[in-house]
Structure 1
Amino acid sequence: MSDNSSIKTIATRDSYGNALVELGEKYVNLVVLDADLACATKTGVFKKAFPDRHIDCGIAESNMMGIAAGLATTGKVPFASTFAMFAAGRAFEQIRNSIGYPHLNVKIAATHAGISVGEDGATHQCNEDIALMRSIPGMVVINPADDVEAKAAVRAAYEYDGPVYLRFGRLATPVINNSTDYKFEIGRGIQLRDGKDLTLVATGLCVVPALEAAEQLAKEGIEARVINIHTIKPLDEDIILKAAKETGHIVIIEEHSIIGGLGSAVCEYLSENLPTKVLRIGINDVFGESGAAVKLLEKYGLDARSIYNKIKENISK
């Protein structure tokens, strides 16, 4: 597919750390919590700039969520940071009962999400976090695609009054949202490419390969609309319904289990409002494995060529 070698790439976990510093300079009530992973989650840059507002809770993620909840009740805006597996997985009960139930103003920043965690292997490759977090009443779930979007998401999360789950990746991804008219709004998807034959709905690091697959399809006369859904919950139902009406065929692409993620959210909505043919491309109810991130994305069918091949096969049926 297309060559992204000349395009700036940056991991969204780096974007998270940089955004925290920018916000920390402006808002004194912003505090950051980490669970002995400040170097990996990139909150270390905030700690260096504002050591009095960074709390290392040690390897005690569940306890960290309780501390964050307590801080929120005092008027602070805490960002609790750790790997997605430890945030959504290990600390689910504390997030549900101590943050979600009282609807506290806590931001859960989960880095190292998805299969692209790579060599850390199946135990750390959390492909279930979106499903877990979107099941909590009142929880906003955001999965940004690039550096620009990740920084904007962190700012929007700070400004939003209530619990937010932010999903960040380890793998550097191309910057695509660098146009001057780019605008981030919680709950609003972004159409990146128009098309009348089908719609590719992607989130996170899958947005770029979705665009590349659409380019290849266009060479064969198949015009695919591409939509970036950075907010899985609340879902932008209007942009999904419009695409379903106008193209009649939806393809979901996500670095997450096909069970409970963006694909499930879209299917749930369309089944009740406009039954539409949907192809879900994601992790197919399996665990990951240790390996280079790029190779894993290829093996599990999330690179541009695999996406293109799956769409062509689906169309031929």
Structure 2
Amino acid sequence: MSKTTNFSLRLSGRSVIGDTLHEIGAADSRLFVCTPDIGGALKSFRGDFPERYIDTGITEQNVIGLAAGLALEGNIPVVMGMIPFLSMRACEQVRTDVCYQNLPVRIIGTGGGLTSGGGSTHNAMEDISIMKTFVNMTVLSIGDPNLIRDALYIGMEYPGPMYIRLAQGKSDTVIYEKGSVSLSIGKGIVARDGRDLTIFVHGELIADALSAARMLEEQGIQARVVDMVSIKPLDDELVLRCIKETQNILVLEDHLMYGGLASSIADLICDRQVFPRQFRRMGIPQVYAGFGSGPQLREKYHYDSRSCFQAALEMVKGPDGAN
């Protein structure tokens, strides 16, 4: 099992992207980096490999089409931009130019969930539901910025398109002790073990889920926390094992409650006819959330760590705490 930190260390995910792409680019000339005017973290790559760095300006459709063309010529293009516009404005290009041809284009999106602070137009609530429906697309949601490095190295050899979802990427919580975990496509990470319920989570909310689990421990409840970093393909075996061993299932995500990870797990439950005692989902309700920081909006819409704690407590002990 992984070893988690005390959440005091923070790291810029965007800096990890910039450093890792520069490192890979120095060794592998197939790597191209493309961006629709979101290149602040890519200065070192741009400076040393200008012939493999392309900024299209704010034209998400164009940058995806360009990346598809580069991939057809045998290159590995990485596109970095803002999630709402890469997932929705360029939706047709991702589907038809990239996924239809099963091309090795890596799309890195920042601002997952309600983390952007830019209001409803910039909140990324629907991206997982969009990306996971595309044939051939692999979908990752990364919380610990150190795992971004793993994803980018895997992406140099992994077949087909890949979507990597990040939070804001400016100051991210380091979740795991260095060297205690590694990323594998199709595998979840057990961040904390427990027998009374399982909290499935992804992205920035891993820290919230672990905080809720620590509060639950004070109430005598042992919560298992599973980081579902690989949303597609899903770790079916791990999900089914958690259902069997803990019975109570809670899914926490910074995404619309329907269409994201919770829906994938619900589909698996129905397909395999393996039913938990209880199943509950927490995330963004059917609202355009407006302005506010991530923590403010999560508290407002009741999917912060305290709300997760209360929901899990109720699942295990009942609404009156009598169970």
Distance 1:99 1:155, change over 3 A: same
Question: What amino acid maps onto 2:26 in structure 1?
Answer: E
Query: Using the alignment, how far apart are the partners of 1:61 and 1:226 within structure 2?
Result: 36
Q: Which residue of 1 aligns with 2:69?
A: 70
Q: How does 1:192-203 map to 2 (within 5 A)?
A: 192-203=191-202
Native 8 Å contact 2:7 2:207 kept in 1? no
Query: Using the alignment, how far apart are the partners of 1:6 and 1:233 within structure 2?
Result: 27
Distance 1:261 1:13, change over 3 A: farther
Native 8 Å contact 1:13 1:168 kept in 2? no
1:128 pairs with 2:126: yes
**Residue 280 (structure 1) shift:** 0.6
Equivalent pairs counted in the alignment come to: 311
Question: What amino acid maps onto 1:180 in structure 2?
Answer: G
Q: Which residue of 1 aligns with 2:239?
A: 240
**Residue 292 (structure 1) shift:** 2.5
1:101 pairs with 2:138: no
Query: Using the alignment, how far apart are the partners of 1:278 and 1:17 within structure 2?
Result: 39
Match of 1:140 among 138, 141, 157: 138
SS in 2 for 1:182: coil
Distance 1:83 1:136, change over 3 A: same
RMSD between aligned residues: 1.6
SS in 2 for 1:117: coil
SS in 1 for 2:116: helix
Query: Using the alignment, how far apart are the partners of 1:298 and 1:15 within structure 2?
Result: 29
Q: Which residue of 2 aligns with 1:86?
A: 85
Cα-to-partner distance string for 1:107-143 (whole Å, 9 max, x where unaligned) = 111112210111x111011110000000001100001
Q: Which residue of 1 aligns with 2:203?
A: 204
Q: Which residue of 1 aligns with 2:172?
A: 173
Distance 1:37 1:6, change over 3 A: closer
Q: Which residue of 2 aligns with 1:275?
A: 275
Query: Which shows bigger deviation, 49-58 or 297-306?
Result: 297-306
Q: Which residue of 1 aligns with 2:20?
A: 19
Which segments of 5 or more consecutive residues in structure 2 lack a partner in the other structure?
Answer: none
Query: Using the alignment, how far apart are the partners of 1:133 and 1:245 within structure 2?
Result: 29
Q: Which residue of 2 aligns with 1:311?
A: 312
Which segments of 5 or more consecutive residues in structure 1 lack a partner in the other structure?
Answer: none
**Residue 296 (structure 1) shift:** 2.0
Query: Using the alignment, how far apart are the partners of 2:39 and 2:281 within structure 1?
Result: 35
TM-score, structure 2 normalization: 0.92
**Residue 314 (structure 1) shift:** 3.8
Query: Using the alignment, how far apart are the partners of 2:303 and 2:25 within structure 1?
Result: 35
Distance 1:100 1:224, change over 3 A: same
Identity of aligned residues (%): 35
